[in-house]
Amino acid sequence: MGTPAGQVITAGPPDAAETSLAARAFQQASMPMSIFDTEQHYLGVNDVAFRIMGGPVQDLLGRPYLDTVDEGADTLGIARHLRRVAETGEPLRYESVTRAPAEGRSHAWNIEMWPVRDGSGEVVGTVVAAFDSTEQHRARRRLALLNEAAAGIGTTLDVVRTAEELVELLTPAFADFAAVDLLDWVLGADEPPALPESGIELRRVAHGSAAHGSHGAAVHLGQTDVHPSYSPPAQALRECRTVLARAGEPDFDRWIAERIAPAPTVRPRPAAIHSLLAVPLRARGTTLGVAVAVRNVHPDEYVAEDAVLAEELASRAAVCVDNARRFARERTTALMLQHSLLPRGLPGQAAVDVAHRYLPSGSAAGIGGDWFDVIPLAGSRVALVVGDVVGHGIPSAATMGRLCMAVRTLADVDLPPDELLTHLDDLVSHLSAGDRDDIGELGATCLYAVYDPVSRCLSVAAAGHPAPALLLPDGTCGLIPVNAGPPLGVGGLPFEAMELQLPEGSVVALYTDGLVEDRDRDIDRATDDLRRALQVPADSLESLCDGVLKHVLPEEPGDDVALLLARTRALGADRVATRDVPPDPEEVGAARQWATDMLAAWGLDEIAFITELVVSELVTNAIRYGVPPVKLRLIRDRTLICEVVDASSTSPHLRRAHAYDEGGRGLLLVAQLTQRWGSRQTGGGKTIWAEQPLPDPAQGLSGGSGRG
């Protein structure tokens, strides 16, 4: 035998059972798997991949990947990743959303790619395996949309804006075109009517598309459209359920054809709508309208899972729309109530010139309880009032009305400011004790001031209210040093009145805290702004009001604002006459003669007869039943005012005299001869007064009875 010259290797076929098992495992895998060479040619594809790709095996094996798929972002991405794995030899995992040609729907895949190496470690191919994560992907999308809805819908209490937020959420993530149509009563203050049997009229409040030109709106914003009974929106409203409609359904095709037919032909016709969701907007058992989601560009049709998601989104939006509707209705009601309680035309009086402004809050908190009033008092005096019920909405406005009427009633008794606030505080305490949901929790403040044009004295008292500002004729401006006192309803604490003499032409500015208080600015700085604004020259009080609001208010006030400006007047000696009356009945005649002489000097002889009777009765009563000293005062203002002052605190009252009584008819006679009469307590006693109308010089009337 010779020396061996070489070796012969014989390779037999592998074990048949082993080869069959490996091939079957690859072919029957539950996930699509493909094998590529380094040039991205198909070397093997399992059965699941065949079904997804849609085509016989001979059309795939040996061909480049990009030649077997439609070119797009997803396919180019897969090719790029295959190249990366082949070049780097590192495995790769990522998620991709692609459209399965055979199924007609998009799928989400968790794709894994890893290199195949030969015995020397060189990369000779790439394996791709894809795990179908469509359900998980859609669940994440639904959760993301719901999270966005929770944060992005209902940011304002505005019906239209809330509808716009729903449309912005739906497009383009969920729909190619979306619209919100509401029943007309939702935008007004009416109660919901019953749905008609035939067509349902809806008003378009918001719509939007994912891309310009992807869908033309058949209804413009703000317009109404009547939906026939067979249309998806009408069905959704009538049956209170989500309606899923697809192309090919007779009613759907008919409705779409009717809406597209009138569209102008100058624009490109949008792609055909293949599916639609109509979701009723229902909140608290009430149907408000319908939201419509359309797909005409997105390839996937809506399915039952999409309807469930749309219902959830619409449900959240409907609650926000209903909240906005209720807020708008309550705001309108509160504003109407407040306007009905605030003075529409201020009464005529000679003590002050007034100008006022009231600005309701535009914030989400709603209308507050700010108010003001100007109340004429006896003796040509006037009461200036501002108040603020802390809180917002109808309860606040109703409480404001109670306080406003209470102040008017107490002012009619002619109480000093501090005593009036004491009585008002007691009233608020009683109301809050009987109704814990009203003033007791809201709280209230008030400022009450009385100005006398004869003495030029201003008396001010406050209950937890900001101090008024005072602009003097020389241009200096500051706050009146008023003891703020406790807010109304606290009880047990006294109120103090501040008195000061004002030169004629002074401007007193009363306001509520909304003018100077705000969470974003310092109150001292705002008060300085108020003083500077009052010092700006203005040709009228109205202009001064506007200037104050312009320079002091922020762009978006967070609370109601009431502003009352009063420029003081003074009644000089030519319009006021005073006489001391000795406590002697014989002085009654002298008092009558003095009054007659004063009327003659004022040119009021026509009413001298009535004035003599009034002076005689009032002076007689003061001498007979009062306490010296006694004073008689005549004031010529818009009326002729006769006042008799004495040191007694006992107030007179009317009574009906019997047939044989010698007295008891004096005050009854005064009440019949004059417009009005009354009495008020003073620091040193009381004042009884009576007013007569002045004669009309244009008609030359003689002194009538003037009975009122």
Distance separating alpha carbons of residues 144 and 149, to the nearest angstrom: 9
Confirm if 353 and 504 have CB atoms less than 8 A apart. Answer: no
Query: 613: burial class by Cβ within 10 Å (0-12, 13-18, 19+)?
Result: middle
How many CB atoms are closer than 10 A to CB 137? 17
DSSP per residue, 108-171: EEEEEEEEEE-TTS-EEEEEEEEEE-HHHHHHHHHHHHHHHHHHHS-SSS-HHHHHHHHHHHHT
pLDDT less than 70: residues of the chain: 1-19, 54-58, 72-73, 99-105, 189-192, 194, 197, 211-216, 260-271, 334-348, 361-368, 391-393, 432-442, 558, 653-665, 697-708
Peptide bond into 629 cis (omega under 30): yes
Secondary structure class of 271 (helix, strand, coil): coil
Backbone angles phi, psi at 222, to 5 degrees: 85, -15
Please list the alpha-helical segments (H only) found in 240-279: 250-260
Element (H, E) at 471: strand 469-471
User: Could you tell me the domains of the chain?
Assistant: 22-132 (3.30.450.20), 138-330 (3.30.450.40), 342-568 (3.60.40.10), 576-693 (3.30.565.10)
Which pLDDT does position 489 carry in this prediction? 82
> 371: helix, coil or strand?
strand
- Report how far residue 294's alpha carbon sits from residue 310's, in angstroms, rounded to the nearest whole number: 12
Classify 425 as helix, strand or coil.
helix
Asked if 246 contacts 303 with a C-beta cutoff of 8 angstroms, the reply is no
The per-residue pLDDT for 532 is: 93
- In angstroms, rounded to a whole number, what is the distance separating the alpha carbons of residues 35 and 42? 6
Q: 52, 75 in Cβ contact below 8 A?
A: no
How far is the C-alpha of 431 from the C-alpha of 440, rounded, in Å? 8
The confidence score (pLDDT) of residue 697 equals: 65
Would you say the C-alpha torsion 512, 513, 514, 516 has a positive or negative sign? positive
Dihedral Cα 670, 672, 673, 678, nearest 10 deg: 50
Q: What angle do CA 482, 484, 485 make, to 5 degrees?
A: 125
Query: Residues with Cβ < 8 Å from 181, sequence gap 6 or more?
Result: 202, 203, 204, 205, 219, 225, 233, 289, 290, 291, 292
Query: How far is the C-alpha of 391 from the C-alpha of 407, rounded, in Å?
Result: 20
- Residue 442 confidence (pLDDT): 53
Q: What integer pLDDT is reported at residue 197 of this predicted model?
A: 67
Beta-bridge partner residues of 227: 200
Burial letters 424-441, b for 16+ CB under 10 A, else e = bbebbbebbeeeeebbee
Nearest to 670 by CA among 686, 688, 682, 645: 688
Helix axes 134-152, 304-341, angle to 10 degrees: 0
Question: In whole angstroms, what is the distance from residue 163 CA to residue 231 CA?
Answer: 21
Phi, psi of 480 (to 5 degrees): -75, 125
Distances (CA, A) of 104 to 76, 129, 132, 509: 20, 21, 15, 74
> For residue 286, with 0-12 CB atoms within 10 Å meaning exposed, 13-18 middle and 19 or more buried, which class applies?
middle
pLDDT for 146: 82
User: Concatenated DSSP letters for 7-50?
Assistant: -----PPPPHHHHHHHHHHHHT-SS-EEEEETT-BEEEE-HHHH
Report residue 106: phi and psi, to 5°.
-80, 150
Question: Got the DSSP string for 178-242?
Answer: EEEEE-GGGGSSSPPPPPPSS-EEEEEEEEEESSTTSS--SS-TT-EEEEPTTSHHHHHHHHTS-
Angle in degrees, 0-180, between the axes of helices 417-434 and 394-412, rounded to the nearest 10: 140
Backbone angles phi, psi at 488, to 5 degrees: -65, 140
* Encoded amino acid at 7, one letter: Q
Residues 606 and 701 sit within 8 Å (Cβ to Cβ): yes
Quickly count: other Cβ atoms within 10 Å of residue 324's Cβ: 21
Q: Cα separation of 477 and 538, whole Å? A: 15
User: 589: Cβ–Cβ under 8 A, 6 or more apart, which residues?
Assistant: none
DSSP-derived secondary structure letter, 605: G
pTM: 0.64
CB 523 within 8 A of CB 516: yes
Give yes or no for a contact between 284 and 326, defined as CB atoms under 8 angstroms apart: no
Bridge pairing between strands 457-463 and 444-452: antiparallel
Dist CA 621 CA 644 (whole Å): 9
Phi then psi dihedrals of residue 513, to 5 deg: -65, -20
The dihedrals phi and psi of 109, each to the nearest 5 degrees, come to -130, 140
200 vs 242: CA distance, rounded Å: 16
The 10s digit of each residue's pLDDT in 506-538 is 999 999 988 888 777 788 888 999 999 999 999
Q: What angle do CA 467, 471, 474 make, to 5 degrees?
A: 150
40-55 as b/e: b if 16+ CB within 10 A? bbbbbbbebbbebbee
As a whole number of Å, the CA-based R_g of the chain is 44
